[in-house]
Chains A and B, each alone.
Chain A
Amino acid sequence: MTDALPDGVERRRFDGAERLATRGEPVYGEPTDREWRAWNPDRSKLGAMLELGMDVGLAGGDEETVLYLGAASGTTVSHVADFAGPTYAVEFAARPTRDLLSAAESRPRLFPLLADARKPETYAHVVEADVDAVVQDVATRGQARVALENRRFLADDGRLLLAVKARSEDVTRDPEDVFADVREELAEGYEILEQERLEPHHADHLGIVARPLEG
């Protein structure tokens, strides 16, 4: 548990309630207060991880580099680009990527990429090496495999911030069994530092903070 937030992320009051917020153009109809906009943890797994006090190891600032996998229409990655430096957003479905393009318009260091996160060689000529964080929210089968495939982008002291959706692996199995399998597979390339269920913000999701193993 930690109360520390990355630079550029603050708890601020919106309509009387304290909420996470970043500075940037609004993207999904979230409440704003001058240049600040609320970060809704119910619509963002990374937001939920911060809200739950997980130590995600993000410092914030222009020097911090992030690879974001499963950017969808840009809800979360827009907040990331608000507080971090160069942010690479990978999404493979065409339709949400259209909205991602709009969210990226006002953010000069948010780079949208239409690509499949299972094929890192299709974007390794664009995404730089040694990023400080890989944030992954792909909600598709084989989530551990995607994380392992993308370890090559991560700095030795970087962090994997992974949201695992149990139902994407197998709707019929007990989520805890799914999570156990994911953790086991992940251990091929990562050491898990912290993990927490993302309830009440996201049902049957596990948030994981991990660092890459050497070699």
Chain B
Amino acid sequence: MTTTDPANAGWFSEADPDDPESAAEAVRDGSADEPRDWPALAVEAGFADDEDEYYDALKEATTAATRAAVTEREAADDRQLVHAVRAMDDCERTANELAERLAEWGGTVDPDVGTGIDYARELAARDGNGADLPGDGGDRIRSLAERVADLADEAEDLREFVERQTPTVAPNLAALAGPVLAARLISLAGGLEELAKKPSGTVQVLGAEDALFAHLRGHAPSPKHGVIYVHDAVRGTRPEDRGSAARAVAGKLSIAARVDHYSGERKPELDAELEERIETIRARADGDDAATGGEGDD
């Protein structure tokens, strides 16, 4: 029995027994609909003298293939995410800045001037070669509006990419923090491994570096939170309990980052634990309402 259909052949049919690289490549890139008795077929095809020799070659090929794939994936995944979320932030910030400039400029000639990205989009969509904007600047204003609208579109596409990608890089962190905040934390730390190695007190203030340095120089209170401020559990908690909420969120996010880095397994129980902590913290507000007063946090 020989096989001629390369789409359903064993890995060894594409591999040169004396070239480990070609073997590893065949393991990584090959496929077949159904398994077959590969050891016997490989011996039959003369790839190996006997099954022992076949298994030795298979061991070498799978090890090399898997090592290469792991290295590639690890490097690719979180680096890609870091760049994507930074590019997203840059696009958003730049689009907003330019939109402001556009509205200022547009206001000098456009009786219907609006504000922000919405105005840029609306202006870019108007018919007629900027004919309805008087003056020499009309064409330039419209052209600028188009750039701003494009930039805003790009930011949205990048956000979608980040939302899709983060759960595969860091499934637990993405579930607990939401994919965009998770990506931002990874980016601020410089990578998932770096984030996993940070103490939760550092995670709590990531993104608040300016405030932290001001505090260290002695002329500001210590920041209670960095970018995790945007997490619902922090933002949605009354101000006097926000420090506790930020600490609880940072604690759980640190654990999630460690699980993602060291095991990669999704642990839904983390979600429930965080929810419980936040409920307990928020329950203080009810207690205080009843008793009035109450000690502030920190």
The reply to whether B263 and A124 contact each other, CB–CB distance below 8 Å, is: no
A98 at interface, CB cutoff 8 A: yes
The answer to whether B58 and A112 have CB atoms under 8 Å apart is no
- Give the bracket for the number of chain B residues in contact with chain A: 35 or more
| Contact B63 A112, beta carbon cutoff 8 Å | yes
Q: Does A145 contact B (CB under 8 A)?
A: no
Dominant SS among interface residues on chain B: helix
CB distance from A5 to the nearest CB of B (A): 25
Known A122-B31, A125-B30; judge A93-B265 contact (CB<8 A): yes
**B265 and A139 within 8 A (CB):** yes
The CB with the most chain A CB atoms within 10 A, among B31, B74, B269, B272, is that of B31
Alpha-carbon distance between A171 and B26 when the two chains are bound, in angstroms: 40
A112 to B271, CA, bound (A): 31
Contact B37 A96 (CB under 8 A): no
Q: Which residues of A contact B298 (CB under 8 A)?
A: none
| A94–B77 CB distance below 8 A | yes
Contacts of B106 in A (CB 8 A): none
Q: B26's closest neighbor in chain A, by CB?
A: A125
Complex Cα distance, B36 from A126, in Å, reads 9
Pairwise interchain contact A128-B37, C-beta atoms closer than 8 A:
yes
Question: Are A101 and B63 neighbours in the complex by a CB distance under 8 Å?
Answer: yes
Question: A101 to chain B: which residues have CB within 8 Å?
Answer: 63, 66-67, 70
A126 & B62 in contact (Cβ 8 Å cutoff): yes
Chain B nearest CB, measured from A6 CB (Å): 20
Q: Does B11 contact A (CB under 8 A)?
A: yes
CB nearest neighbor in B for A105:
B63
Q: Do B55 and A129 have beta carbons less than 8 Å apart?
A: no
A117 within 8 A of B: no
Interface string of A80-121 (1 = CB under 8 A from B): 000000100000011111101100100011111110000001
Determine if A111 and B59 form an interchain contact, defined as CB atoms under 8 angstroms apart: yes
Contact B11 A126 (CB under 8 A): yes
Residue A10 CB within 8 A of the other chain? no
**Which B residues, 47 to 90, have Cβ-Cβ distances below 8 Å to chain A?**
55-56, 58-59, 62-63, 65-67, 69-70, 73-74, 77
Residues A130 and B37 in contact in the complex (CB < 8 Å), given A109-B59, A114-B69, A125-B30: yes
A98-B70 CB under 8 A given contacts A111-B62, A129-B37, A171-B268: yes
Inter-chain CA distance A75–B37, complex, in Å, is 28
Contacts of A72 in B (CB 8 A): 263-265
Q: Are B73 and A114 in contact (CB under 8 A)?
A: yes
Given contacts A86-B55, A111-B59, A125-B9, contact A168 B264 (CB under 8 A): no
| Known pairs A113-B62, A125-B9 / 16 extra A-B pairs, C-beta < 8 Å | A72-B264, A72-B265, A95-B260, A108-B59, A109-B59, A112-B62, A113-B27, A114-B65, A114-B66, A125-B10, A125-B26, A126-B11, A152-B34, A167-B268, A167-B269, A171-B272
